[in-house]
């Protein structure tokens, strides 16, 4: 845990131009745990649902000791026809590192069996970057000094036009986490617009209550992504210092509330590197597995983001999870959940994404911007930087849709822009 602790303090920085009182409050939050709220206590208005999955995931995570597994355990796991929870623990352990190629072969076979050679392409669209949380590693955090922006209806539509013109058929709508700046109705408006231009509409916004998810489903949203960031509550408490996002259990149950609200699919992720990535990967996979067991019709998918440099703090790095480790995690995910979608974002390099699409990934983004309102300038040939808000993080792979399409085809894969009917 020592390494994690050091990384965490590396993440903290002071942006220029904060007022003395803001700085003082920020530093107090960082240094004095007693002035931070209880991360397990719900805030007014947060719905509680009857679900024991979070307790089971926490128990499984704290019981997991990756160092206990041996090469023999990994071999046994790889010899079994199906990969259960114990096999998953072995495959995520350091003992599995020398077996990476064998894991990749098995993972590839499972991916092909379930998805053939198809890879889906989508693009994220950030419509606002206002945020009321202080998460120390995030470019949007409320103590970072960035250009804040919220697109209005016309601007959202303009962005969607540009994206749709590129041929994209699936869009993922994102906001910073501010209920006041980006209300549920505002997000609903965006979904309705998106329905005009795209076949499939995903949401990656703040967690909300069941009735709000139901409302957004009615306005055109199909699936919901929520990153838990880390399933390790102690570490979570040290990284999410302020705001509604600090409430760990409310965030955990977001996918379940989304399914209760009628969403077709949900996506899960830990931001690997915030805590022990092996234990976080185990928790992510179990969270997805157990929720799918409870809601068998749910389409589930996993993401695998690593930390990236952010505005005003270019030194943010993924930590001890390198590409080999990330590949190991993704192979373990694939073997444990052969039917689940796996998304690899533009946080990763083009070469990594080309390679992993042949092993485990089923979905990649293209034509990506994590800023606000800049598709028109980046991909549409327009240039008006004053109408743009700052990015959440720096991307690593900036390929356009047509380039991604050609590259995947060149790798022998079949790019797919839509595999969905809205009924």
169 sits near other proteins (criterion: CB under 8 A)? yes
Q: What is the DSSP letter of 201?
A: E
Please give the Cα distance from 41 to 96 (Å, whole number).
Answer: 38
Q: Over the range 299-320, which residues count as b (16 or more CB within 10 Å of their CB) and which as e?
A: bbbbbbbbbbebbebeebebbe
- Comparing CB distances to other proteins, the nearer of 164 and 181 is 164
How deeply is 210 buried, as exposed, middle or buried, from its count of CB atoms within 10 A (0-12, 13-18, 19+)? middle
Q: How far is the CB of 169 from other proteins (least distance, A)?
A: 6
Q: How far is the CB of 356 from other proteins (least distance, A)?
A: 18
Binding to other proteins by CB under 8 A, coded x per residue (else -) over 119-158, reads ----------------------------------------
Stretch that binds other proteins, among 202-210, 361-369, 380-388, 408-416 (CB under 8 A): 408-416
How deeply is 297 buried, as exposed, middle or buried, from its count of CB atoms within 10 A (0-12, 13-18, 19+)? exposed
Please give the Cα distance from 385 to 143 (Å, whole number).
Answer: 23
For other proteins, the binding residue among 60, 203, 281, 298 (CB under 8 A) is 298
Length of the chain: 423
Q: Which two tokens stand for residue 273?
A: 């590197």
Q: How far is the CB of 121 from other proteins (least distance, A)?
A: 9
Residue count, binding to other proteins (CB under 8 A):
29
Do residues 363 and 381 lie in contact, with contact meaning Cβ atoms separated by under 8 Å? no
The upper half-sphere exposure of residue 57, i.e. CA atoms within 13 Å in the direction of its Cβ, equals 26
- Comparing CB distances to other proteins, the nearer of 145 and 403 is 403
Stretch that binds other proteins, among 115-123, 125-133, 204-212, 353-361 (CB under 8 A): 115-123
For other proteins, the binding residue among 23, 37, 102, 118 (CB under 8 A) is 118
Q: How far is the CB of 334 from other proteins (least distance, A)?
A: 14
Q: What is the DSSP letter of 46?
A: -
Q: How far is the CB of 173 from other proteins (least distance, A)?
A: 19
- Comparing CB distances to other proteins, the nearer of 114 and 195 is 114
Please give the Cα distance from 40 to 135 (Å, whole number).
Answer: 16
Q: How far is the CB of 255 from other proteins (least distance, A)?
A: 14
Footprint of other proteins on this chain (CB under 8 A)? Answer: 109, 112-118, 167, 169, 199, 292, 296-300, 339, 409, 412-414, 416-421, 423
């Amino acid at each position: 845990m020592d390494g994690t602790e050091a990384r965490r303090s590396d993440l903290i920085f002071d942006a220029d131009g904060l007022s003395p009182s803001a700085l003082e409050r920020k530093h107090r939050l960082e240094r004095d745990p007693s002035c931070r709220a209880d991360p397990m206590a719900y805030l007014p208005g947060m719905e509680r649902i009857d679900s024991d999955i979070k307790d089971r995931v926490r128990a499984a995570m704290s019981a997991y000791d990756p160092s206990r597994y041996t090469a023999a355990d990994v071999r046994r796991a790889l010899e079994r026809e199906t990969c259960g929870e114990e096999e998953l623990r072995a495959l995520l352990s350091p003992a599995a590192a020398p077996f990476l190629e064998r894991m990749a072969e098995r993972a590839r076979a499972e991916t092909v069996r379930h998805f053939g050679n198809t890879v889906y392409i989508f693009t994220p669209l950030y419509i606002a970057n206002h945020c009321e949380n202080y998460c120390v590693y995030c470019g949007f955090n409320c103590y970072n000094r960035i250009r804040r922006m919220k697109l209005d209806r016309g601007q959202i539509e303009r962005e969607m036009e540009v994206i749709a013109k590129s041929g994209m058929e699936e869009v993922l709508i994102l906001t910073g986490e501010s209920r006041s700046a980006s209300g549920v109705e505002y997000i609903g408006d965006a979904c309705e617009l998106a329905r005009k231009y795209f076949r499939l509409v995903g949401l990656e916004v703040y967690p909300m209550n069941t009735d709000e998810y139901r409302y957004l489903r009615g306005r055109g949203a199909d699936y919901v992504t929520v990153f838990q960031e880390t399933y390790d509550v102690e570490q979570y408490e040290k990284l999410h210092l302020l705001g509604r996002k600090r409430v760990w259990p409310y965030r955990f149950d977001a996918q379940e509330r989304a399914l209760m609200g009628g969403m077709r699919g949900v996506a899960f992720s830990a931001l690997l590197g915030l805590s022990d990535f092996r234990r976080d990967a185990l928790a992510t996979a179990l969270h997805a597995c157990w929720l799918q067991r409870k809601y068998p019709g749910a389409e589930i998918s996993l993401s695998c983001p690593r930390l990236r440099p952010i505005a005003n703090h270019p030194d943010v790095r993924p930590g001890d999870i390198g590409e080999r480790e990330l590949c190991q995690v993704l192979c373990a995910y694939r073997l444990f959940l052969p039917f689940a979608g796996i998304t690899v974002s533009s946080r990763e390099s083009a070469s990594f994404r080309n390679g992993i699409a042949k092993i485990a990934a089923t979905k990649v983004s293209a034509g990506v911007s994590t800023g606000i309102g800049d598709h028109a300038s980046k991909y549409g040939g327009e240039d008006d930087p004053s109408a743009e808000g700052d990015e959440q993080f720096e991307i690593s792979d900036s390929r356009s849709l047509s380039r991604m399409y050609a590259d995947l085809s060149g790798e022998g894969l079949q790019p797919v822009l839509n595999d969905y009917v809205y009924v």
